[in-house]
Amino acid sequence: MAGCVFLSRLSSLIRGQVCCKVSSCAQTRVRRLWCALSCSQLHKVGGNSGLAGKVDRFGGVTVDLAEVGLPADISEDAFSRLLRDSLSQWKAEGRMAVWLRVPMSLSRCAAAASSHGFTFHHARGEYAMLALWLGGGESRLPGFATHQVGVAGAVVDESSGKVLVVQDKNKTKNAWKFPGGLSDPGENIGATAVREVFEETGIRSEFRSLLSIRQQHNHPGAFGMSDMYVICRLSPLTYDINFCMQECLRCEWLDVSELAKTSSTTPITSRIARLLLYGLERGFDKIDLTMEEIPAVYSGMFYQLYYRQLPT
């Protein structure tokens, strides 16, 4: 997917012309088109005189430096000359953007690319993806992931009206809160809640619903990126607490009504406790966003939709 860019026939439009009087419309469009492409739509082009890349139908070109047969010891200067010649060719061909996939061992090529205006788009594990916008004006390349996702689980025992809460060992103010933590890559929201609850408290539980979402930007715990914090309602499968003493100072089954009125908690926990109390009294269908799994347009994949079930 990383090589897919921009509808080439949009290029004249994008170079400064106004689209249907709606500002940023063209920018939005190329982003969306880009996102709708799959890598299978790429086709190879190559120059004898330059780097061989793959061009997508949006006019972007992608070069994977692991696949173009570069000498393993190519110098920064030699790569810089090769890239310069390739850029001349791509510009002459009207390409909108260039993506360079750089294996870590060839990182010196990234320094050379930097001198031609490339910047890092993202990097993971053993490779970095560099990008250069050729379309004129401000770059309209799509961004990379912006949010980490954290999930907490409110395990509610309906028979006793109690909810599982912990006090972090590391906090100065020992406020009651729901156990939780960051999602692993590719992990569903509900799975994170169940896993984190077990790791912190030893309680087994199952997912019931989503209750709230908090969005926070420039998050200190997210390398300056944004944080999405979700609270789920879970039902207990076991009841004997065996909490993590490294992580928690205390762990208890607390009356939901007590949690709803105590000052020894966080603003979010307090609000969710009042919601849970309402749910205990009037039915959780009044507060739940339940999950429905729906087949994605991409074959064999599913997504999870959380929304209010219609009252019956």
- Rounded-to-integer distance, Cα 45 and Cα 186, Å: 33
* In the complex, minimum distance from the CB of residue 230 to a copy of itself, in angstroms, rounded to a whole number: 8
For residue 116, give the 3-state DSSP assignment: coil
- Which residue, 44 or 298, is less far from a copy of itself as judged by CB? 298
**Which burial class, exposed, middle or buried, applies to 199 when counting CB atoms under 10 A from its CB (0-12, 13-18, 19+)?**
middle
Q: What are the backbone angles phi and psi of residue 215, rounded to the nearest 5°?
A: -115, 135
Using an 8 Å Cβ cutoff, are 275 and 208 in contact? no
In the complex, the smallest distance separating the C-beta of residue 34 from a copy of itself, rounded to whole angstroms, is 7
Q: Smallest distance from the beta carbon of 16 to a copy of itself, in angstroms?
A: 14
Q: Which is closer to a copy of itself, CB of 170 or CB of 263?
A: 170
Cα distance between residue 1 and residue 98, in whole Å: 13
Q: Least separation, in Å, of the C-beta of 224 and a copy of itself?
A: 7
Nearer to a copy of itself, 64 or 200 (CB): 200
User: Between residues 51 and 277, which has the closer beta carbon with respect to a copy of itself?
Assistant: 277
What the block records as the tokens of 226 is 């944004």
Residue with token string 């850029």? 87
Helices in 170-246 by DSSP H: which ranges? 189-201
The least CB distance from residue 160 to a copy of itself, in Å, is: 22
CB of 197 within 8 A of CB of 285?
A: no
Burial of residue 26 (CB within 10 Å: 0-12, 13-18, 19+) is buried
CA angle 284-290-292, nearest 5°? Answer: 155
Closer residue to a copy of itself in complex, CB, 23/159: 23
Six-digit token string for 11: 């290029």
Taking the complex as a whole, how short is the minimal distance between the CB of residue 152 and a copy of itself, in angstroms?
A: 12
Name the residue type at position 138. Answer: E
Q: By C-beta, is 89 or 252 nearer to a copy of itself?
A: 252
Torsional sign, CA 254, 256, 261, 265: positive
In whole angstroms, how close is the CB of 270 to a copy of itself at the nearest point?
A: 11
Residue 94 Cα distances to 50, 133, 134, 183, angstroms? 16, 12, 8, 42
- Given the complex with a copy of itself, which of 183 and 205 has the nearer CB atom? 183
